[in-house]
Structure 1
Amino acid sequence: MEEFLMNRSSPGTSKSKVSLSLAKAIDGFLKFKTAEGLSQRTITSYEFTLGHWLKYIGDREVSDIQSSDLTGYMAWLRTEYKPRRWNGSSEPLSAKSIRNVWVTFRSFFGWLQVEFKFPNPAKEITAPKFQKHPVETFSKEDVEKILKACVYSRESQTEERKKFVMRRPSSNRDQAIVLMLLDTGLRATELCSLIVNDVDLKTGKVTIRHGVAGGAKGGKGRTVYLGKVARKAVWRYLASREDGDDPDAPLFISHADRAFNKDSLRVLINRLGDRAEIKKAYPHKFRHTFAITYLRSGGDVFTLQSLLGHGSLDMVRHYAQIAEVDVEQAHRKASPADNMRL
């Protein structure tokens, strides 16, 4: 890192005197962004995207990179690249994924321009267009089926017995997870980062800790709440665990007694969806369901923004449009200046 910093340009240094390989630049970029406090999820995304591009293009001098080196790679991703996914799918990358690559290039070369005065080849590339997917939610019937799938296995039948179902050993845990996702709108990483001490089962208060430990986007912690049904489910689950009273224990653990991560949580919800015969079951769909149901049940957009942890109203407005809630009317009702009669 010290050698890297010594190569950094200073005022008056011409760009031709700066020699920097892509591999070293990527390493420095990731360290700088980590020091800035970006979330681990963002850092991991940058690292994967830039590492993949480096393997494709080869380690070269930063000064030799042209816009065509970036657009050529993005075109290859669209047409020839076959991704390897956890579910075995090899479908082409979505337009949104291609746009994320463009965003990474903009950030990386923008940083190089500021720190080392290199030209920014990404600046000349137009943002790839993509069509936003409609927000998908679970219906009341869907949730009931998933909760039932938490408790019972698929129907089985042998030659000697009639059809039967068995109670699943993880039923209490799985129901508690589903109800917490539904009742709080937590992101997957936020739920997986919870420890027992973060949840007050008397009041329903759930604390998302600040910083990396809390798993929140941008490290911004907040407070959300559980209703009575979800609280009861979490209590029932913790009561069955030997470490249920340990304040530092993970709130939800897998069969291997390890804390869940976003990938294992996604697999769990996906399997529950399969058993319930519900297509497209994934953790973030509960977040959408929470937001839409909250607004349709009379919740206001500003409180929803706080509960979801959004920095702006943009996404909340999108939810409001779907729920047919008037944001302007909500502001009129809640306007501090108007209510103070100034």
Structure 2
Amino acid sequence: MQSYLSKTKRKGKRKATETAIRAVNQMTMTEMFDTFMAYKQTEGLSPVTIADYHTHFRWFLEYTEQDLTKEEITPIVFRGYIDYMLNDLGVTPVTVNVRIRTLRHFLRFCYNEGYIDTPVHEKFKPVKTAKDTLESFTQEEVKRMLAVLDDDLYVGFRDRVMIYVMLDTMVRASELLAMKRSNVDLKAGEIRLEGDKTKTKKARTVPISAHTVKLLREYIEETEDFEEETLFLTYDGHKLAPNTWRKRLLEIGEKAGVLNKRVSPHTFRHTGALFYIMNGGDPFSLQKILGHSDMSMVRRYIQMTNNDVKRQHNSFTPLKGIVSKRR
């Protein structure tokens, strides 16, 4: 008698599925990360963001000193990594949080895709930080750094122009180094940032003051013979690498004796935002210049010292206009 068996899937298909499941269960952490980055590439992230994911993962592997299996990816490992960064390496809580944020995104992906069985990303949290964590330079410190630059040398003059542009526009390092000559409108006094070169993937236009316009005009004329579209270049006419610029700033800070603060593009961004408010700018126009979608980050950028607050209060006390001056 003929027997009829129900079969919902072909035999070959069922075997292929079982093979795929075994392959997933045997994936190492590095293989999971490669799959994760292939997915992130489809999201149209900036090259800087993609590079950050790879850098942060490499640092984590330097801590573990080996690739991890599925079973070895546990909360204990990541809590140990946080402790190692804080107490062995002396990394600041803010930087620790930047590094583990990308790892948590990766682990969330692994859990959602079924690569790991436990939501490890929920088992460790960002490190608590003090509210006033964003450093800024004083005016005196900025003047000292500008004073050590030699305008008779191309690199010294270029660095001066770049520092002025950083402070004036408050752009990120990646946005600064991605600027093209065609983005600069000296007549209008503004620089256009292209959407694919900004962190938010949105184009925006940032204003520049008259003095920055003057310096940029001189710099653009100085670099015409390079015949390069990129705005800021090395002494031999090549595109300036992010690490090169960061090292230059460190050298300038050391030479100027600014040793108690991190001399970096981001500190100049914080400084520009604080100076903007201190000089009478409003937070709403600042938000647009910085390129933030809400005010929460703007509030962190414009933290003031007690002396700053005292000085502002003397100028803008609520009693101004009510209490007449004594004669």
Q: What band does the TM-score fall into relative to the shorter chain?
A: 0.7 to 0.9
> Are the equivalent residues in 2 in contact too, given 1:224–1:307 (CA < 8 A)?
yes
| Structure 2 residue aligned with 1:177 | 162
Cα distance in structure 1, aligned partners of 2:106 and 2:301 = 32
| Structure 1 residue aligned with 2:91 | 93
| Structure 1 residue aligned with 2:147 | 148
How do 1:4-43 residues align onto structure 2 when only pairs under 5 Å count?
18-43=25-50
Note the alpha carbon deviations across 1:80-129, whole angstroms, 9 max, x for none. Answer: 4x5xxxxxxxxx32223333343233211211121226322231223332
Larger Rg belongs to: 2
> Are the equivalent residues in 2 in contact too, given 1:38–1:218 (CA < 8 A)?
no
Note the alpha carbon deviations across 1:156-202, whole angstroms, 9 max, x for none. Answer: xxxxxxxxxxx434343222112111211111111111110010111
What secondary structure sits across from 2:205 in the alignment? strand
1:300 to 254, 274, 282: 282
Note the alpha carbon deviations across 1:285-339, whole angstroms, 9 max, x for none. Answer: 321222112122222211111100112211212345526589xxxxxxxxxxxxx
Give the letter aligned to residue 95 of structure 2: S
Matched, 1:233 2:225: no
How do 1:1-342 residues align onto structure 2 when only pairs under 5 Å count?
18-54=25-61, 56=64, 58-80=66-88, 92-116=90-114, 118-131=117-130, 134-151=133-150, 167-211=152-196, 214=197, 216-243=198-225, 249-279=229-259, 280=261, 281-322=263-304
Give the letter aligned to residue 119 of structure 2: N
> Are the equivalent residues in 2 in contact too, given 1:187–1:283 (CA < 8 A)?
yes
Cα distance in structure 1, aligned partners of 2:223 and 2:291 = 30
Q: What is the root-mean-square deviation of aligned Cα atoms in Å?
A: 3.1
From the superposition, tell whether residues 29 and 171 of structure 1 become closer, same or farther in structure 2 (CA, over 3 Å): same
From the superposition, tell whether residues 27 and 197 of structure 1 become closer, same or farther in structure 2 (CA, over 3 Å): same
Note the alpha carbon deviations across 1:210-265, whole angstroms, 9 max, x for none. Answer: 11xx2x22323211011110010011111122347x5x611111123212232222
From the superposition, tell whether residues 58 and 196 of structure 1 become closer, same or farther in structure 2 (CA, over 3 Å): same
Give the letter aligned to residue 96 of structure 1: V
| Structure 1 residue aligned with 2:4 | none
Unaligned runs of 5+ in 1: 1-5, 83-91, 153-166, 327-342
Cα distance in structure 2, aligned partners of 1:225 and 1:204 = 6
Aligned length: 288
- Alpha-carbon offset, residue 204 of structure 1: 1.2
Higher relative contact order (CA 8 A, sep 6+): 2
What secondary structure sits across from 1:223 in the alignment? strand
> Are the equivalent residues in 2 in contact too, given 1:173–1:234 (CA < 8 A)?
no
> Are the equivalent residues in 2 in contact too, given 1:23–1:54 (CA < 8 A)?
no
Unaligned runs of 5+ in 2: 1-12, 314-327
